[in-house]
């Protein structure tokens, strides 16, 4: 964003499926801002307790300290006037409210970097990410590697049976798939797996 002059804020959105490197990219941009001695604040929804409570950790183990929030409006309460750069991870869990919050922060002159899944486990647009993409100054779409065939993967394949939109988990519950290998019906995907997770769980005495 070299074209931005003065104290104008803006919104950068980073989307893609799970394992595409969104958290890594967020951490990279925030670290660079810190090296430039800018004041940075980082938020993530408390729902994602994948690895650590007050930290964003990528699937490859990269980490950065963050503030846990239960809803998007908490960002406005916690943001300090002198903060210049704001990172928000896993914005798909924060609802429509996060769109207003990002807009307000950018209008206050802050650089807002927000990441999230742009599609859900059935391949449908995952609100509020499409709305964030529409209002962003800059968009980055990342791809993972399809675990079946090695092609670029745009989808998050759910491997466990659930009709819930949000089932938090990582390895074993989800994997990256390309458009050819993606099976939007999780039951089919689960049946085709050699050692289905549910069967392994049953064998281990879990329900």
55 in catalytic set: no
184's CB contacts (< 8 A; 6+ apart) are 121, 122, 123
Please state the φ and ψ torsions of residue 145, each to the nearest 5 degrees. Answer: -110, 130
Residue 147 contact, options ligand ADP, Zn ion, none, Cβ 5-8 Å cut-off depending on partner type? ligand ADP
**Shortest Cβ distance from residue 14 to ligand ADP (Å)?**
8
Binding test (CB under 6 A) with ligand ADP, winner from 12, 13, 19, 129: 19
Q: Give the residue carrying structure tokens 């050699």.
A: 194
**Shortest Cβ distance from residue 206 to Zn ion (Å)?**
29
Binding test (CB under 6 A) with ligand ADP, winner from 16, 45, 87, 116: 16
Binding residues among 52-71 for ligand ADP as defined by CB under 6 A: 58-60
Binding residues among 134-173 for ligand ADP as defined by CB under 6 A: 144-145, 147
Binding test (CB under 6 A) with ligand ADP, winner from 99, 112, 176, 181: 176
Rounded to whole angstroms, the Cα distance separating 144 from 36 reads: 29
Does residue 178 belong to the site contacting Zn ion (CB under 5 A)? yes
49's CB contacts (< 8 A; 6+ apart) are 168
72's CB contacts (< 8 A; 6+ apart) are 94, 95, 97, 98, 100, 101
Which one of the listed residues 12, 24, 25, 90 is annotated catalytic?
90
Rounded to whole angstroms, the Cα distance separating 92 from 128 reads: 6
Rounded to whole angstroms, the Cα distance separating 158 from 18 reads: 10
Binding test (CB under 5 A) with Zn ion, winner from 146, 154, 160, 189: 146
Rounded to whole angstroms, the Cα distance separating 71 from 81 reads: 20
Catalytic residue ranges:
90
Q: Which residues bind ligand ADP (CB under 6 A)?
A: 16, 18-24, 58-60, 144-145, 147, 176
Q: Which residues bind Zn ion (CB under 5 A)?
A: 146, 148-149, 151, 178, 181
């Amino acid at each position: 964003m070299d074209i931005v002059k003065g104290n104008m804020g803006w919104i950068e959105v980073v989307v893609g499926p799970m394992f595409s490197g969104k958290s890594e990219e967020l951490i990279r941009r925030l670290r660079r801002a810190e090296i430039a001695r800018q004041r940075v604040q980082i938020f993530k929804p408390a729902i994602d307790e994948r690895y650590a409570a007050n930290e964003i950790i990528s699937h490859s183990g990269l980490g950065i300290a963050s503030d846990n929030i239960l809803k998007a409006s908490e960002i406005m309460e916690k943001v300090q006037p002198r903060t210049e750069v704001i990172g928000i991870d896993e914005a798909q869990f924060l609802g429509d409210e996060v769109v207003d919050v990002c807009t307000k922060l950018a209008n206050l002159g802050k650089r807002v970097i927000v990441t999230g899944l742009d599609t859900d486990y059935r391949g449908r647009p995952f609100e509020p990410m499409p709305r964030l993409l529409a209002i962003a100054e800059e968009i980055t779409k990342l791809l993972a590697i399809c675990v079946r065939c090695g092609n670029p993967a745009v989808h998050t394949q759910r491997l466990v049976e659930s009709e819930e939109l949000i089932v938090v988990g990582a390895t074993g519950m989800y994997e990256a798939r390309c458009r050819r290998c993606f099976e939007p019906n999780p039951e089919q995907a689960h049946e085709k797996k050699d050692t289905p997770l549910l069967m392994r769980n049953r064998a281990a005495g879990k329900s």
